[in-house]
Amino acid sequence: MSLFVFAWGIPQVKQFLNGSTKGHPSLLAGWTKFEVPIPFLHESVVRVPPVVSKPTPEPAVFKIEWLAATGTSLLLAGIMSGLLRGFSPLRLLQIYGGTVSRSCVSLMTIAAMRVLGYITKSAGLDATMGLAFASTGLAFPFFSALLGWLGVALTGSDTASNVMFGGLQRLIAQQIGLNPILTAAANTTGGVMGKMIDAQSLVVASIATGQTGEEGKILRYVFWHSIILAALVGCVIFAFARFLPVHWMPQTP
């Protein structure tokens, strides 16, 4: 699995699987990557300052990269492992079908949370929450980490949280005289602490440990751990912003 995931993470491999090689179409061009603009939504929402530096239409494109997706590498690793362990293709298919049947409700839950993340972004709720945190003024370095935590708790992805709040963190930092690199790091680091309470992680954990239907109980158990850890990250970021020497932080060009 490590070998497959490592290979799929190499940019050149990902480009080839998506149908391009050094900027030129490969043999897979047109078969493995599709982009579908969402009608009535694509570039219909415009983000304006102070969320972004200038008015920018928000793209809404459904991208399908079925061969370059990390999940494909995991599926291939599972097939390879099963064959090496002596399972027949029919038995592997039966196991796969049983896994899908066992997790179908959880998969719909994960999909619903992804939908919620996109709705939150398109409706401007993420920007509204970000601006509310920005109004905290001198305490913003502390809340900067909590903003990243909130983004991951909503979307289930640190990458999605960075997309949602990264630009906003940078703009706010510039407005109140902070190093944008520090707030960007706070967004990512604080987001990691929100990973344990997002719906996707809870569902996956409950399936893996045979506790399907106990997601609420798991959430109640880990919620305060997540809050405390995010607050500790916020304290570290606040210390870097207010008390440690400025030259410790790299400056933006």
DSSP string for residues in 12-69: HHHHHHTTEETTEE-TTTTTS-EEEEPTTTTTTEEE-TTTSSS-EEEP-EEEE-TTTS
- What is this structure's pTM? 0.67
How far is it, in rounded angstroms, from Cα 66 to Cα 46?
Answer: 29
Cα angle 149, 151, 152; round to 5? 70
How far is it, in rounded angstroms, from Cα 123 to Cα 129?
Answer: 12
Helices (H) and strands (E) in the chain, counts: 10, 6
Report pLDDT digits (tens) over 173-215. Answer: 877 788 888 888 999 999 999 988 887 788 878 877 888 778 8
- The HSE-up count of residue 114 (CA atoms within 13 Å, CB side) is 9
What length does the chain have? 253
In the structure encoding, which two tokens stand for residue 112, read together? 């619903």
pLDDT at 80 over 90: yes
Q: What is the CA radius of gyration of the chain?
A: 21
Helix axes 70-84, 2-9, angle to 10 degrees: 150
Highest mean pLDDT of the ranges 10-24, 35-49, 118-132, 149-163: 35-49
pLDDT the model gives residue 235: 94
Residue that is written with structure tokens 């020497």 in the block: 245
How far is it, in rounded angstroms, from Cα 222 to Cα 219?
Answer: 5
Report pLDDT digits (tens) over 20-51. Answer: 777 677 777 778 889 999 999 899 988 888 77
